[in-house]
Chain A
Amino acid sequence: MTDQHPSQQQTGQLHGQADRDRVTHGVKRRLTSPSWLARAASVGLCSISIGFLILFVFVVETGGNVTLFTRPLLMQIAVSLPAVIMVLTAATTIGAGIAWWNRYWSIRARIHQSVLALLGLGFSWQLTKLGFLPL
């Protein structure tokens, strides 16, 4: 009986292994899924862009305009975000193209992704014009 029925500890280990496998599989599936990556890029673009604005304004408001010169850590973080925004804009734009090409998502979702890509391009263009992106 003992041989035929795993102990409670063994059962727990099996379940833990199964959970880990499931998570690993899920991560792998998502990281190789263009649709998931495209959506992640657009979510990241929206979040980082707004985060950049909030952080930049916060630092200038709390530390004064002189933070543009003295560059405290938070300002250094803020001025590093436009490069991330540019990468996420590129990913969002590519994701929108792939979505239309492969016809995944609904039409509405594809249009939304495309609009976000355009907004990202506009945002990045202005960040460039304002000197945050060294192009």
Chain B
Amino acid sequence: MTQPRLSTADSSTDRSTRRSFLAGLGSLALVVVGTATGRTTAATGAPSPGSRPGEGPFAAADELEAFIDDVMAERIGTATPGATVAIVSGDAPILTKGYGAADVDADRPVRADETVFRVGSVGKLVTYTAVMKGVEQGILDLDTDVNSYLDDSRVTVPDTYDDPVTLRHLGTHTAGFESTLDPDIVADPDSLDTLEALLTDQQPSRIRPPGELVGYSNYGAALAGHVVAEAHGTTFEELVQAAIFDPLGMTHSTFAQPVPADQPGDLAAPHIRDGESFLTTDDVYINMRPAGSLSATATDMATFMRAHLGDGAVDATRILDAETAEAMHNRHHVRHPAVTNWRYGFHEYGNPDANLIGHSGATVNFTSSLLLAPDYDVGIFVASNSNPSELPTTVVDEIVAEFDLQRAPTTPTPTSRPGGQERAETVAGEYSLTYLPQSGPLQAVDLLEHLTVEPAGNGRVRTTTLEGDARQWVESEPYVYDEVGGHDVLAFEVTDGEVDVLSMSSEPTGVYQPVPFQERQFVTGAVLGTAVSGFGLSLAGWGGHSIRRTWKQQSTDDDPDTADAE
């Protein structure tokens, strides 16, 4: 249920539950929401001496642990019953620690090295690492039609457009598949299909030419997993086990569902809130497994982060050549130079210049977030066994802020180019996100998430959403606007006075496109409001009329004069 989402502790931290739900969706190995993707804002603080790249921001491990303890103490028992944290610096994990309860019924505590969490879409990073391993081996190519790897599979991507879908598109969510947010969550493990059957039966439409616009897709990630498995002539689960988990010694990690009984470690129970406490609940299963069925401990995720920070190797064990790891961490799709963009499988986070990359994830009742700061050799992983609005990402954000992993935002400097007000009026309008469904009842989510842009005077613009997220932006260069009080960025692409695309730095999992007048929130609200009002008044009128008639009839029957007359 989500979207990759990393946000941080600045003014945009608490933007509503619905957005985080979507973030969750997108990266859910559910949404989406949120969610599908995620708003990546960034926590910032004033740089401290000694936090220059290469020096390591966590010089004092005791201070780090005390800080994390404080951060988690504020949340355990209130936001979530349990959580697990892993922080690596350089080539070693400097903190792996469990907090709270893995299962409130059994009173079982979280242990970082034993308690397994469902990490949702963070598992996509493992899938895309396996793809890059295949590229390194010469078995796969990022720019070849994926259909060429599917000769022995029933799955075929239709040739809707001239350009084929490639693994580069799948790793950057630019294949152009219609989003469904739902990675096909099922409550009964017996309802899980084979990956081949699932990808065949539930193939979404191709609604955009590949390579053009980002639109977070669980289907695309699942397809990438299927392609790499087919190319190796094995199953996805076996491939990942052999290529990544076994070499790295990630003994507590698996994409299998349910987690096998003989798998080392204990799976944390999912929880739902019940007033002031938490109740355990049934787990769910992700049919699009490469997109979000990974279960892992914080210790295993620390190893995975070390492999990426260590140019593909942990100690003497190498899963990727240094060149391959570097290639994976390079940009593969640019939405706009001024905003966050896509590496391979990772999206950039926070300030586009900060070189922070990550991914967030969620299932229905688990959430997680993974962030790498390669310039500092730092990796952060947080997971919880409930689905609070933003626990893992806010924890990551607070760590980023506390240890200065990105520079503080500066006051936006208005562009000296004339015509700012005209440009502000050009970009005014209502916009919808590409990663939200365009069919089915979840289409309503798209309507609720529209972004409204209005001129705010002096070349500034103001953005608002239904959930009350109102922000001001200053034009720093033509059609590029910096957030006032933050470091988010809006970048418009305009052709002949019409906006084609709006990219927001904090929403890397999609781009915004203008909404036609008849699909705007005001039109929908007016039509639905008028209709419901009319229906309600009519029912009230009919009811009143019926009651009045009944009362009159009774009055007539009870009238003594009338009775005498009878």
Does the CB pair A70–B187 fall under 8 Å?
yes
Q: B441, A129: Cβ atoms under 8 Å?
A: no
* A52 CA to B167 CA, complexed, in Å: 43
Q: Given A70-B284, A70-B364 in contact, is the A126-B527 Cβ separation under 8 Å?
A: yes
- With A69-B182, A125-B527 as given contacts, are A131 and B534 in contact (CB-CB < 8 Å)? no
Chain A contact residues, majority secondary structure: helix
User: A-facing mask of B334-365, CB < 8 A → 1, else 0?
Assistant: 00000000000000000000000000000010
Is A115 engaged at the interface, CB distance under 8 Å to the other chain? yes
* Residue in chain A with minimal CB distance to B28: A69
Interface residues as binary, A113-134 with B (CB distance below 8 Å gives 1, 0 otherwise): 0011001101101100111101
Residue numbers in A under 8 Å from B25 (CB-CB): 65
Given A46-B536, A50-B536, A66-B30, A131:B441 Cβ within 8 A = yes
A65-B21, A126-B524 given; A131·B439 CB < 8 A: yes
Known: A68-B441, A130-B443. A120 touches B538 (CB 8 A): no
Within the complex, what minimum Cβ distance (angstroms) separates A80 from chain B? 11
Min distance, Cβ A101 to any Cβ of chain B, angstroms: 22
Q: How far is the CB of A92 from chain B (nearest CB, A)?
A: 11
**In the complex, what residues of B have CB within 8 A of residue A70's CB?**
185, 187, 284, 364
Known: A130-B444, A131-B441. A119 touches B535 (CB 8 A): yes
Cross-chain contact of B534 among A43, A65, A115, A129 (Cβ < 8 A): A115
Q: Mark B239-274, 1 if CB is under 8 A from A, else 0.
A: 000000000000000000000000000000000000
Q: What 0/1 pattern do residues 292 to 323 of B give for CB contact below 8 A with A?
A: 00000000000000000000000000000000
Contact partners of A79 in chain B: CB under 8 A: 441
A122 touches B524 (CB 8 A): no
Q: Separation in Å of the A66 CB from the closest CB of chain B?
A: 5
Q: Does A107 contact B (CB under 8 A)?
A: no
Classify chain A's interface size: 20 to 34
The answer, among A65, A116, A125, A134, for a CB contact under 8 Å with B535, is A116
* Chain B contact residues, majority secondary structure: helix
Decide yes or no whether A47 CB sits under 8 A from chain B: yes
B8 to chain A, nearest CB (A): 23
- On whether the beta carbons of B528 and A131 are closer than 8 Å, the reply is no
Q: Is A31 an interface residue (CB 8 A)?
A: no
Provide the bound-state CA to CA distance between A86 and B189, in Å: 36
Determine whether the beta carbon of A46 is less than 8 Å from that of B535: yes
Q: Is the CB of B444 within 8 A of A119?
A: no
Residues on the A chain within 8 Å of B30, using CB: 66, 69
Complex interface residues of chain B between 500 and 544 (CB less than 8 A to chain A): 518-519, 524, 527-528, 530-532, 534-536, 538-539, 542
CA distance A92 to B206 in the complex (A): 38
Contact A68 B442 (CB under 8 A): yes
A15 located at the interface, meaning its Cβ lies under 8 Å from any Cβ of chain B in the complex: no
Residues in A neighbouring B531, C-beta threshold 8 A? 49, 119-120, 122-123, 126
A129–B530 Cα gap in the complex (Å)?
16
B535 with A122: CB separation less than 8 A:
no
A112 to B542 Cα, complex, angstroms: 11
In the complex the two chains form, is B530's CB within 8 Å of A122's CB?
yes
Q: Closest chain B residue to A66 by CB distance?
A: B364
Between-chain CB contacts (< 8 Å), 26 pairs:
A46-B534, A46-B539, A49-B535, A50-B532, A50-B535, A50-B536, A53-B532, A66-B30, A66-B364, A68-B441, A70-B185, A70-B364, A79-B441, A122-B531, A123-B528, A125-B527, A126-B527, A126-B531, A129-B443, A129-B518, A129-B524, A130-B441, A130-B447, A131-B438, A131-B444, A134-B439
User: Which residue numbers of B lie inside 8 Å of A, CB to CB?
Assistant: 1, 18, 21, 25, 30, 181-182, 185, 187, 284, 364, 437-445, 447, 518-519, 524, 527-528, 530-532, 534-536, 538-539, 542
Nearest first, the 9 closest Cβ-Cβ pairs linking A and B are: A131-B443, A46-B535, A123-B531, A119-B531, A119-B534, A122-B527, A131-B440, A69-B182, A130-B444
- Could you list which residues of chain A lie within 8 angstroms of chain B, going by C-beta atoms? 42-43, 45-47, 49-50, 53, 65-66, 68-70, 79, 112, 115-116, 119-120, 122-123, 125-126, 129-132, 134
Q: A66-B30, A69-B364 are in contact. List 5 more A-B contacts (CB 8 A).
A: A68-B445, A69-B185, A123-B531, A130-B443, A131-B438
